[in-house]
Amino acid sequence: LLDALADMGALAIERVRLVEDLDRAERAAETDRLARALLTSISHDLRTPLASVLGAASTLRDLDAALPGEAKADLLATIIEESERLNRFIVNLLDMTRLEAGAVAPNLAPQDLGEIVDTALRRTEGVLAGHRVVVEMPPDLPALPLDPVLFEQVLVNLLDNAAKYAPEGSLVTVRARRDGARIRLEVLDEGDGLPEEDVERVFDKFYRVRKGDRVRAGTGLGLAIARGFVEAMGGTVTAGNRGDRNGAAFTVSLPARTAREDRAA
């Protein structure tokens, strides 16, 4: 009997090993698959705008004298826009890398939320030019413990998306209000919003609702970075749809005081 039990034990251990090996192989295959998808996506996202820049610059060089002023202006606009896109993509990749390396150390100091919102709106003026923008800030908001550089980037990413995924002429609203010991900041748009089953997944790295969307180019990194930065500052960010009309609603909830101030209170 003992022998039989020992055999069974050995068999069980063998099975556990097999399952573990399989798990490991599956995880390795998944990591491999992700790495390949990442490389494909990165090379595509880098090469597409770069090809446009090279094309426009070469045309300017070769045909310079023959080109009417308007055509030159168009080519220059292409060069600038595509270079900005490249720059955004590289900034995103670097931000993501910093987050994953655990190298994001927020510099928390009391900040005027309204001022950070203004700066973010100035930075997104170009992309939001076709939209109407409304800002609703209560006058008595307390200063919040934020890293202004990180928080500005969070807002820029949310505003960029509102500009990209909501039609021209529609209204983008940025509003803040007090909610007990926290401050809620919302970015609302009038686009198609998000499929309910995707409201969590949009924060995943490289996740995009419409995968092959070439018109609204993107990397699927903006929201992952926004969430990483907000969480590093002790806040949360959630996605959803508006209750009052069509459109997405992104809500950032921030502590009104630092954890240390909370303990002292």
Q: Which is nearer to ligand ADP, 26 or 84 (CB)?
A: 84
Task: Lay out the site mask for ligand ADP across 223-252 (x = CB under 6 A, - = otherwise).
Answer: xx-----------------------x----
Neighbours of 102 (CB within 10 A): 8
Q: What backbone phi and psi angles, to 5 degrees, belong to 254? A: -125, 140
Only one residue has tokens 């390795």, namely: 28
Q: Toward ligand ADP, which CB reaches closer, 16 or 90?
A: 90
C-beta of residue 159 within 8 angstroms of C-beta of residue 187: yes
Name the minimum Å distance from CB 238 to ligand ADP. Answer: 12
- Kindly state the smallest distance separating residue 265's Cβ from ligand ADP, in Å: 36
| Amino acid residing at 179 | D
Angle at 13 between CA 8 and CA 17, to 5 degrees: 145
**In a 3-state reduction of DSSP, which class is residue 146?**
strand
| Closer residue to ligand ADP (CB): 186 or 189 | 189
Q: Which of 162, 183, 233, 252 binds ligand ADP (CB under 6 A)?
A: 162
Distances (CA, A) of 233 to 28, 117, 252: 33, 16, 11
Q: Which residue is nearest to ligand ADP (CB)?
A: 218
Minimum distance of ligand ADP from residue 32's CB (angstroms): 23
Taking CB under 6 A as the rule, does residue 88 contact ligand ADP? no
Cβ-based nearer residue to ligand ADP, 150 or 223: 223
How far is 173 from 155, CA to CA, in rounded Å? 12
Draw the binding track, 199-228, toward ligand ADP (x: CB under 6 A; -: no contact).
Answer: ---x----xxxx-------xxxxxxx----
194 in contact with ligand ADP (CB under 6 A): yes
Which of 43, 45, 73 lies closest to 59 in space, CA to CA?
73
Euclidean distance between CA atoms 53 and 80, whole angstroms:
8
Q: Which of 161, 190, 228, 229 binds ligand ADP (CB under 6 A)?
A: 161
Query: C-alpha dihedral over 209, 212, 218, 224, to 10 degrees?
Result: 40
**Three-state SS at 241:** strand
Question: In the complex with ligand ADP, which residue's Cβ is closer, 108 or 156?
Answer: 156
Q: CB-wise, 121 or 207, nearer to ligand ADP?
A: 207
Q: Which residues bind ligand ADP (CB under 6 A)?
A: 157, 161-162, 165, 189, 191, 193-194, 202, 207-210, 218-224, 248
